[in-house]
Chain A
Amino acid sequence: MRILDEKNIEDIALGAAVLGTGGGGDPYIGMLMARKAIRDYGPVELYTLDEFDDDDLIIPTAMMGAPTVMVEKMPNGDDIINAFRSVGKYIGKPIKATMSIEAGGLNSVVPIYVAARERLPMVDCDGMGRAFPELQMVTHTIYGISSTPFAMSDERGNTVLMETISNKWTETFARSVTVNMGAMSMIALYAATVRELKEASIPGTMTKAETIGRTIRSARQQEENPVDTVRESVGGFLVFKGKISDVERRTEAGFAKGDAFLEGIDDYHGQRLQLSFQNEHLAVRIDGEFIVTVPDLIVLLDLDTGEPITTEAMRYGYRVAVIAIPCDNKWRTDKGLELVGPRFFGYDIDYVPVEDRFNSS
């Protein structure tokens, strides 16, 4: 167990932007919520799964909806507590902790708010190790953990509880209720016991986000090159150094999709990289050949500052390092790849783990 204070939260938020792989929502609002709750209710304890009893009930919490709405209509605060307690009440057992379902982006820090207010611990694990665009895309799904009982609450006091036959159905219904709630809802889902989470979740992801954030911050202070230090701290691979030469965007079924094209610089001079995205970065091709794909993490870092660059911020002239970080092994199973592999996102290729590609070449 260790204590999370304001500084830890800022580091987690910064690191979560890296794990967001270009998406996941701006952690700023979530960081403010978590910081405010810690100031008002005291610091939050971060536990590892081993520090609980196997039968303890853990319920993750998150925000769902359009990032543009989140910066305008911020939550009430009671809404996410309502969702959290509703799931506990439905199950009829005491809740021992909350956790993040998505360590990348905004939802890394939102559960810290819940933990502070409920005076419960937060667990150092999540269900993605990164960010993904849809609710069923969590390691819990691979291990048969249901997203339901699922609760979603709005600021008015409405709570919708649902039971579904699959996590994909939860995504479908939750998406349309979210629109009715004003394009943003607060959710509690994937209730599980510690025993189940030991098998199904990705451990240590809060600490990982924090380490990345702290690395970037101290590299900046010491005027080191943050790109190298970040890459080392996450065990990632340098895929490319280049300049964004074009970005093509389109909206399909509510998702922001597109491709960015990079011209190589330094050792990569003469090479051309194509980066495809759908809210998050999905695939990297160099001179037409697939080099990195989901579920491995593709991260763009500003060459000078090490600042992660989101899909929305990409534009001509940015000089970036493209870093690939191996995803958790749970994603590399048949079931994992069925959920979030290249074929799910429309690329008819087999997934090759990034370290195989880089260690052999």
Chain B
Amino acid sequence: MRIGIDVGGTNTDAVVMEGANVIATTKTPTTENVTDGIVRALRTVVEDSKLDVGSLDGVMIGTTHFTNAMVERRRLEPTACIRLGLPATVCLPPLVDWPDELVEAIGRHTYLAHGGHEFDGREISAFDPDEIRKITEEIKSKGINAIAISSVFSPVNSEFETKAAEVVLEVLPDANITLSSTIGRIGLLERENAAVMNACLRNLAAATVASFKEALSAMNISAPAFISQNDGTLMNADFAADYPVLTFASGPTNSMRGAAFLSNLKDAIVVDVGGTTTDVGVLQQGFPRAAATAVTIGGVRTNFRMPDTLSIGLGGGSIVKENPIKVGPQSVGFELTQKAKVFGGNVLTATDIAVAGGRASVGDQGLVSSIDSILVEHVNEKIQEMVSVAIDRMKTSASLVPAVIVGGGSILINDEIEGISEIVKPNHFSVANAIGAAIAQVGGETDRVFSLAEMSRDEALSEAKTEATDRAVSAGARADTVEIVDVEEVPLAYLPGNATRIMVKAVGDLAGDQ
């Protein structure tokens, strides 16, 4: 048995799951004191399911808490950043592209030191412990305890970041240190940004994880607690207290993973039709396809792998215009139940068209019976065309794929879409995030540049796969269940020796869970 919890900005949802069955679900408002909301949600599902909490294998929590703190610039700790790479990188120091008010929140305590590596593993300059000692003394004198350390090409060789951390701890034994190589990939500024964000969130993370645990012990739950990561896999709660930044964007990921689970599909298009927008994403082997572009969080550029979604201005509340026919992007939004014609309002919306066309029965059908049936037909065609174009854009090939349609606006969508083999509209979708958290596995990733002049492509791939598998196992996966779920190879232009960047992701079931 597992419990999945989604702590959002508005609602805290919980589900109890036994294997593949959803036993109980609840949706409660998130409270100012996070613990209370979680306890209330837990109490509801535990009572509804008559669950013996002693039989729980784990509690999986997904949260947007840390993303929100970054976006709202609250509860962030003053943070220093030490970058190893001199004499390179001087022209663009740490925090160079951060919004001013965020820099004010954490201070501009940035330091450049010697070290760093070239793409092929050579040292840029020698590591100098005395230099780090001197920098740490200065950080100490400012009363700062949170420190991010980055080093050029640390995804290729993280040795200098580790050495620097050892020296920092000699001077500041209680320092809370984040190494960029532990959270990011190639792209120094983006990886370093993530490390700094992580360092400034560590206090908040420690307090939040403590309140999660408090909620569990209030419910007499002794099963281990896990937190969802942005790639849809789990980390244990204590690890999450050290790496809060890894929870960024876990919300959309959990939602898509939940959709995959509810529909029993591993490879599918997910169409989430809301009130104002429709978000289309792609599931590959049960995981969302990651976006290739840089992702900005709270105005800071990162290179986290976020789910690749396409958002179009079509939803249940989309305003319909005639001559020429246009649906959205303007929407009546949450005022649908006052403004739409079926609810007695005077705005023609996509929902009115669905009701008039007999595809849905909400509100008063009589209020839309006077709409010209040819108009209804044309608008409906337009809506289906918008959806099929969006789906087609997200597909990776021309072959037919199934689609999972979820969300309150899913009544707009016909039972057939061009290019789609089968349409699934699952139950329980309103708690998909919590379900996505509950079913999550444990993962490991590697992202390195290999020289194919020195080894064959197969050797490089197998080395990368072994590395990713080892990381999954050390993160808590059961070795016999680990599978490679994603392999990406990018040949690098202008580099000698057929340099190729290889990214591999492995996932497995949680150890101790049957």
Contacts and interface: CB of A to CB of B under 8 A. Distances in A.
B188 A155 contact: no
Interface string B54-69: 0000000000000000
A73 B395 contact: no
B186 A68 contact: yes
A268 to B, nearest CB: 15
Contact of A183 (B96, B118, B125, B293): B118
A229 B88 CA distance: 41
A74 B398 contact: no
Contacts of A254: 493-496
A156 B116 CA distance: 12
B137 interface: no
Interface residues of A, number: 42
B394 A29 contact: no
B226 interface: no
Contacts of B120: 183
A20 to B, nearest CB: 13
Interface of B, secondary structure class, is loop
A76 B87 contact: yes
B118 A33 contact: no
B371 to A, nearest CB: 28
A353 interface: no
A153 B92 CA distance: 18
A66 B292 contact: no
B152 A66 contact: no
Contacts of A72: 119, 152-153, 186-188
A156 B120 CA distance: 17
B91 A76 contact: yes
Given A69-B119, A71-B186, A317-B394, A279 B91 contact: no
Contacts of B85: 73
A179 B496 contact: yes
Contact of B292 (A32, A73, A313): A313
Interface string A181-203: 01100000000000000000000
Most buried by B among A65, A113, A316: A316
Given A316-B397, A318-B393, A74 B91 contact: yes
B216 interface: no
B498 interface: yes
A157 interface: yes
A74 B87 contact: no
B88 A76 contact: yes
Interface residues of B, number: 44
A316 B188 contact: no
A71 B187 contact: yes
B491 A251 contact: yes
B87 A156 contact: yes
B124 A155 contact: yes
Contact of B492 (A68, A178, A317, A318): A68
Given A72-B187, A74-B188, A33 B494 contact: no
Contact of B87 (A67, A68, A157): A157
Nearest to B91: A77
Contacts of A178: 494
A74 B88 contact: yes
Contacts of B190: 71
Contact of B90 (A32, A76, A249, A317): A76
B495 A113 contact: no
Contacts of A71: 186-190
A243 interface: yes
A269 to B, nearest CB: 14
B495 A75 contact: no
A317 B396 contact: yes
A78 B90 contact: yes
B462 interface: no
A182 B188 contact: no
Nearest to A23: B493
Interface string B96-137: 110000000000000000001011101011000000000000
A36 interface: yes
Given A182-B118, A182-B119, A65 B494 contact: yes
A207 B393 CA distance: 34
B89 interface: yes
A48 interface: no
B116 A73 contact: yes
Given A68-B501, A317-B396, A319-B393, A73 B88 contact: yes
A182 B124 contact: yes
Given A71-B186, A313-B292, A317-B395, A183 B494 contact: yes
Contact of B96 (A36, A75, A249, A316): A36
Contacts of A319: 389, 393
B392 interface: yes
B118 A36 contact: no
Interface in A225-259: 243, 245, 249, 251, 254-256
A183 B117 CA distance: 12
A254 B491 CA distance: 9
B498 A251 contact: yes
Interface in B173-214: 186-190
A15 B491 CA distance: 27
Contact of A66 (B187, B397, B492, B498): B492
Contacts of A66: 119, 492-495, 499
Contacts of A317: 392-396
6 contacts: A66-B494, A66-B495, A68-B495, A73-B124, A76-B88, A243-B392
Which 8 pairs, one residue from A and one from B, show the smallest C-beta to C-beta distance?
A77-B91, A251-B491, A155-B88, A66-B494, A317-B393, A182-B118, A74-B89, A256-B493
